[in-house]
Amino acid sequence: MTLSPRDRTLTFIGILLALFLGALDQTIVSTALPRIVEDLNGLDRYAWVATAYLLASTVLVPIYGKLADMVSRKAIELWAIGLFLVGSALCGLAGEFGTLPVLGDGMSQLIIFRAVQGLGGAGLFAMAFIIIADLFPPNVRGKYQGFVGAVFGVSSVLGPLIGGFLTDYGGSLVPGIAGWRWVFYVNIPLGAVALWFILTKMPALKPQGEPGRLDYLSAFFLLVGLVPLILALQLDKASYPWTSPTMLAMFGVSAVSLILFVVRSLRSQNPILDLSLFENRVFTTANIALFFMGAAFLCITIFLPLFMVNVIGVSATQAGASLIPLSLGVVFGSIVSGQLVSRFGHYKRLMLAGGVVLLIGTFLLSSMSPDIPYWQVTLYMVVCGLGLGPAMPLYTLAIQNAVEGSKLGQATSASQFFRQIGGTVGAALMGTVLATTLAGAFTNVTAQESTGVPAANVSTTEGVGQGGVAEIESGVRSGFAEQYALIERVVRSGDQGALSQLQRNPQIPQAFKVRLQGASALSQAPRAAQDRVLGAIRTQLDAQADEAVAETTRTVKVAFTDAVTRIYLYATFIVAAGLLATLLIPELKLRTTNAPAPQAAD
């Protein structure tokens, strides 16, 4: 391939822009989702908007990798960008024309179109590392792949900010177009720029070796195996427990299909994933490490906002902003590690150093207390980001350096796939840990003041989420207000029904029930006398409500702290497993050309 340095740089910029689109779309939509489900009346399908994209963008990655070993990389990249932009435009139009045949209502349309976006997004993720491998030899490739990690970090910072801004103010851009629709439309001009760079500056980048034909049966078994597996991991375990018939059936279909995929791959002349790659120690051990690192990364990012809202007491927006230090750490760590490996030629020691730093970061997170200050959490997130930074470029670099060029696409896409699957599995398992821990902590939690007039019960996890402790406080005070309203009815009108309801309340001590017996007699007293009694009761209840709120809030904070720190403790062991796998990766000298790779030691 003959390519001028200028065209090589412009092609690289185009690839990064395309990757930025896919990475941005993973975060920009989350901020707009509350407004979207309100407009499209789809609260019951809220999670499916993200699940559809994740599902499509994960299961197609291995197939894109195989196609990259068969046909022009440029053609695949253009197809992926085009499909992503079509999906973006359709998402923006979801529900504009009402309910449509086959596609259903606006929310169903959005879910389907998000899947179309994901089909393109899978190509954007898979092809970025593959094309960079074609543009630059391994000995200098690290510093360029470091920018890929930086793109993910920057997109995770900008996504929620841009999404919130467009949702709130985008409606003023063009009258009649809701602001949240611009969250999808904004992809089109960015995608057009990326298309221009790739169309005009990128060469065809033909694959090495004989292309062969795509094994459609192998692809079918792979898709049928992955789709139910990822869906099962994403489903709400409160509605679909791990041992429910639905879950068991999905896992069963997945297991059978993946076994058939392996059998077919062993017999096929041109499999989707050449299983002989697993004979390469670098490929195998690096992907095992990526699986664990992907799980650790998602555990850190998913559960920290819950801690920030329910323990630190910040708003949902501030909780999202708490991930910015992590992203900045990832950006810095990715770029610096990429530069260092290109300068000194050693990648394994940087991967190990990153793993150790991440191990320290997750251990620090696991030691958090309910009274931890915001700045300290920020510091811990920076440490985790610095540890995660090298994982993005260097594991893939090690794999690319160890495999032959004819299998570069399959090997590279496999590294993306194992990282994503690790994150999906880790998030699902840790989500179960969170729910189980909170359920145990909240089972018997009630806020009850000293005279026996109770506040509302605090349910297991209901009402504890984005509303945080403010929602719990509201529930506690409403409980006191309900009891006061009953007392007022008894005092004002002698309502025997209200008195009976108070008497039947098992949470009210017997001594207080005796005092209530004479309350109905006050209904005959002058209004001023009633006001004095009720005023004294209200003052007493308000003070007791304050005490109950403080006690219940503390209980909630402790429960969430226990749950989230337990998750981070498990994440520490997950990182340790990834670090152990990293130790087993053989380090090969980085090649100075894109000639066939040396064989890794068995």
pLDDT computed for residue 358 by the predictor:
95
HSE of 274, CA atoms in CB hemisphere, 13 A: 20
pLDDT in tens, 125-166: 888 888 888 888 888 888 888 888 788 878 877 887 888 788
* Residue 2 pLDDT grade (very low, low, confident, very high; cuts 50, 70, 90): low
In the chain, pLDDT over 90 holds for what percent of residues? 25
Pairing label, strands 446-448, 454-457: antiparallel
State the burial class of residue 251 (Cβ atoms within 10 Å of its Cβ: 0-12, 13-18, 19+).
Answer: middle
- The mean of the pLDDT values for the chain is 82
pLDDT surpassing 70 at residue 236: yes
Q: pTM for this one?
A: 0.80
Residue in the structure block whose two tokens are 């985008």? 170
More confident residue, 580 or 563: 580
Q: What confidence tens digit (pLDDT) does each residue in 447-482 have? A: 343 344 443 333 334 344 444 556 666 666 777 777
pLDDT tens digits for range 340-378: 988 888 889 999 999 999 999 999 999 999 889 988 999
How confident is the model at residue 135, as a pLDDT? 85
Distance from C-alpha of 317 to C-alpha of 296, rounded to nearest angstrom: 23
Contact of 261 with 554, CB cutoff 8 Å? no
- DSSP H helices in 202-280: 216-234, 245-267
pLDDT tens for 529-556 read: 777 777 777 777 777 677 766 676 777 7
Are residues 479 and 454 in contact, defined by beta-carbon separation less than 8 angstroms?
A: yes
As assigned by CATH, the class of the 1-210 domain is mainly alpha
- The residues, any chain, with a CB within 8 Å of residue 124's CB and separated by 6 or more, are 18, 19, 21, 22, 80, 81, 84
In this prediction, residue 234 carries a pLDDT of: 82
C-alpha–C-alpha distance, residues 584 and 289, integer Å: 10
Instruction: Kindly indicate the confidence band of residue 515, based on its pLDDT and cuts at 50, 70 and 90.
Output: low
Helices 48-59 and 61-68, interaxial angle, to 10°? 30
